[in-house]
Amino acid sequence: MDWNELRSHRIFLAAPLYGNMLHFGFFQSVLNLSLSCLKSGIHLGQKYVGCDSLVPRARNRLVAHFLDTPDTDFFFVDSDISFSTEDFLSLVQSPLPIIGGVYPRKQLDWNRISKAAQAGVPPGQLAHYGYIPVMNWDAPGNYSLDEPIEVRHLGTGFLRIKREVFTTMIAKLGDAITFDYSSDEPLFGKRTGYDFFPIGPDIRYPQGSGGRQYHSEDWGFSELARVSGFKLYAAPWVQLIHSGYMDYSGSLEIMDAGVEDTLEKFTVFGDV
């Protein structure tokens, strides 16, 4: 970790708190990160938005707050994600404009768990092998586990975005992503904002594929970023916990460990 280089960054940690709730693992992770940044002289701003039933709107409001600061690195961390300080700062230090950690969906791949059990994985570790990543691969193939992987869609639950991404999207997409705040909730006295996290079918997106697949806001952001000239990358070394009725954990490395032939590489057979 290059601490001197990290001190040149101004980090803006942003979290939408759906239902005004956060999980203990998230709280502990942010506390550890805050203490580490304080001791190391790294700027870490934090902003949380609660009382908003529309998560895409909350995300847009958080970006608006970020753009009203001199901060350089915007970092989404959802309030049900647990992470390590080392993984967080490794993404801040990356030169890539958009890079994120891959966390599991809140469901299990029972077929993979069955294969892991047949391969002799201890019962206490089987849940890790049910990992279903929140991402879409850009293309099938073999990838190294210690280097970023280009993907088509990436979840916003643990995502670092450089400032230039938003300013470029505004410059290139302009009116296509501009919206008006309702009269009772202007932001900074402003009546207009930008929708970086649209939901709906591809046909709604500027220069989109014209398809009709209905996207969530993180997939929508991924599409707009690609249209604006940016590539998205996943960091396979990052290990995250996604909390729900249970803690869903695992990593891209664990997906194949003990199930496939190699621990050093993993193979992607198509979109997840």
* In the chain, domain spans: 3-268
> Rg (Cα) of the chain, in Å, rounded?
19
What's the one-letter identity of residue 35?
L
Predicted local confidence at residue 258, as pLDDT: 42
CA–CA separation, 227 and 61 (whole Å):
22
- The owner of tokens 């997939």 is 219
Predicted local confidence at residue 202, as pLDDT: 63
Q: Which helix (H) or strand (E) holds 243?
A: strand 241-243
Query: Residues near 262 by Cβ (< 8 Å), separated by ≥ 6?
Result: 256
Predicted local confidence at residue 241, as pLDDT: 84
The parts of the chain modelled with pLDDT lower than 50 are 203, 256-272
Predicted local confidence at residue 272, as pLDDT: 31
Predicted local confidence at residue 264, as pLDDT: 31
Nearest residue to 44 (alpha-carbon basis) of 81, 3, 74 = 74
CA–CA separation, 204 and 139 (whole Å):
24
Predicted local confidence at residue 250, as pLDDT: 65
Q: In angstroms, what CA-CA distances link 217 with 9, 132, 156, 205, 244?
A: 27, 19, 8, 12, 20
CA–CA separation, 223 and 220 (whole Å):
5
Nearest residue to 155 (alpha-carbon basis) of 47, 262, 80 = 80
- CATH classification (class only), 3-268: alpha beta
Measured in degrees and rounded to the nearest 5, phi and psi for residue 265 equal -130, 155
